[in-house]
A and B are shown apart, each in its own frame.
Chain A
Amino acid sequence: MSEWWTYSLSDFLMFSGRSYYRLIESYNAAIWPAHLLALVAGVIVIGASALPRQNLQRSAALVLAAAWGWVAWAYHLERYAEINTAAPYFAAAFAVQALLLCWRAYRPGNAVPAPQRMALGLTGLAIFAYPMLALARDNGEWRQAEVFGIAPDPTVIATLGVLLAWRAPAIFWLIPVLWCLVSGATLMELKIGHAWLLPALAFISSLASIINRKTPRDLNSTANPRS
């Protein structure tokens, strides 16, 4: 391949929007009612971005790790790989992020974050609003809803929110931000109306993270707040 510059995004898109959303529909049908469990897990994640409690942060990190691991296996490897030859690589990246989040859960000296409106907004958007986008799409229906912990996009958005609340270092941001770009590009080629959303959220949240990291931590953000 000596002429990479001649390739456009559309050259790498190998499935139609119809096939893509039908895959999500059949995936949802196959694992229902796991969505209810995912919703409960989502509430823990929202709690972590709203309440500065150490145990909640650990639980959220483990929930997110489980979500990333599940999406790597059940979505990317088991299903998305049927229509996208790049899916096994996505699965590997998601598995790495799951390990990072596990490590974050048990790393000693984690700071407890101060509540942040943007973090709360991102996790809330991911868990409650993102599934509704299925109804906003042309020919979309609720059976094709993308749910936190089940589908990659809302899982990644919720993770951005928690990373923002944690003031997490750059290493935690790398894979989520890359996924936002990949998914945004895919949806753009599929001519999906909300294709801009993931890249925009990645940009805004990482910018907010950089600004946060340059400002002094809130008094609540100490390594050991109860001592």
Chain B
Amino acid sequence: MPLTSPSRRHLLASMIATSGGLALSPLLAAAPPAPLLTRPIPSSGEQLPLIGLGSWITFNVGRDPQGRRESVDVMRQFFAGGGRLVDSSPMYGSAQDVIGEAVQTLKPARLFSADKVWVSGGARGVAQVEASRKLWRVPRFDLLQVHNLLSWDEHLPILLAMKREGRLRYVGITTSEGRRHAEIEKIMASQPIDFVQISYNALDRDVEQRILPLARERKIGVIVNRPFRQGDLTQALAGKPLPGWAADIGCTTWAQALLKFIVSHPAVTCAIPATSSVAHVRENLLAGTGRMPDEALRKRIAQDVERLA
């Protein structure tokens, strides 16, 4: 799938809109940001930025006012930097409600809401989706995914019917950490889904063998979760000097290099790193800009990460 750069004018307009016209962060105000690259959703052609935002653990802050303020700040920075796709699940505790608070506060113009259904039984799924929608404070979801394939055979027909009726734009399935890939493949081959969400990073590359090629063949978008192995990978690489190739692709941190490795795979639509830090959001978004590694450099990145992590 080709990468596309949105115009800087559009990007700046969206940043000003999402920041309410208030002062931009020093980093963003200092220089015009590089445009966040996009890739088309295979089933529709709609462009989606390469970097999304996950919410596992990071946005589950309960009623803590400070934690909620910080989460809203993270989302403010994400939207200001051109981000669109935010991913959550009923499994993530208070994350959906925290996202809803940010949506209500920031009113992002181009939010791409990606949530999940995670309950046994199709009928209960309908009620859960509606409860989730209310927590998100959105009129409808852009994407609903069957979380970890739980009761997928009951949920998928309902979600596909919602899509046909215009109550949902895209349908997907998810897994994480390499689980149930055989079943994922079967569903990808047999069901008219738009997205598959999987774990993929420079160390966990099983999906390169079958799932990513199958996604390209079947025109299924790929969302990548746990790009840093829930922080373990960046922690393992902390303090290790970046190899020379990092500067060639505009990376100043390992996190950026790890993200560029992922989103440069042509089958990947976007990666969804989760963070509770505004600085990390900026860092992550920069990974969706500038030059991307080619196939040879991707191999080298994987080798170096394997050696150093």
Query: Are A83 and B177 in contact, with the CB atoms below 8 A?
Result: no
Q: From B62, which residue of chain A is reached at the shortest CB distance?
A: A82
Asked if B276 lies at the interface with its beta carbon under 8 angstroms from chain A, I say yes
Q: A1-B150, A3-B179, A16-B276 are in contact. Are A22 and B93 (CB under 8 A)?
A: no
Q: From B229, which residue of chain A is reached at the shortest CB distance?
A: A10
The binding surface of chain A is classed by DSSP as: loop
* Partner-binding segment picked from B15-23, B53-61, B121-129, B135-143: B53-61
Q: From B90, which residue of chain A is reached at the shortest CB distance?
A: A85
Specify which of A6, A15, A26, A79 is in contact with B57 (CB 8 Å cutoff). Answer: A15
Which residues of A lie under 8 Å from residue B276 when comparing CB positions?
Answer: 16, 18
* Partner-binding segment picked from B6-14, B63-71, B247-255: B63-71
Which residues of A lie under 8 Å from residue B92 when comparing CB positions?
Answer: 14
Interface size class of A (residues with CB under 8 A): 20 to 34
Specify which of B58, B66, B177 is in contact with A22 (CB 8 Å cutoff). Answer: B66
Which residues of A lie under 8 Å from residue B150 when comparing CB positions?
Answer: 1
Query: Are B93 and A85 in contact, with the CB atoms below 8 A?
Result: yes
Which residues of B lie under 8 Å from residue A85 when comparing CB positions?
Answer: 91, 93
What is the bound-complex CA distance between A79 and B94, given in angstroms? 12
Q: A3-B179, A6-B179, A82-B63 are in contact. Are A13 and B57 (CB under 8 A)?
A: yes
User: Shortest beta-carbon distance, A21 to chain B, in Å?
Assistant: 10
What is the bound-complex CA distance between A4 and B62, given in angstroms? 28
Which residues of A lie under 8 Å from residue B57 when comparing CB positions?
Answer: 13-16
Query: Are B62 and A79 in contact, with the CB atoms below 8 A?
Result: yes
Query: Are A14 and B64 in contact, with the CB atoms below 8 A?
Result: no
Q: A11-B177, A14-B57 are in contact. Are A22 and B67 (CB under 8 A)?
A: yes
* A residues neighboring B (CB under 8 Å): 1-3, 6, 10-11, 13-16, 18-19, 22-23, 26, 79, 82-85
* B residues neighboring A (CB under 8 Å): 56-58, 60-64, 66-67, 91-94, 148, 150, 176-180, 230, 276
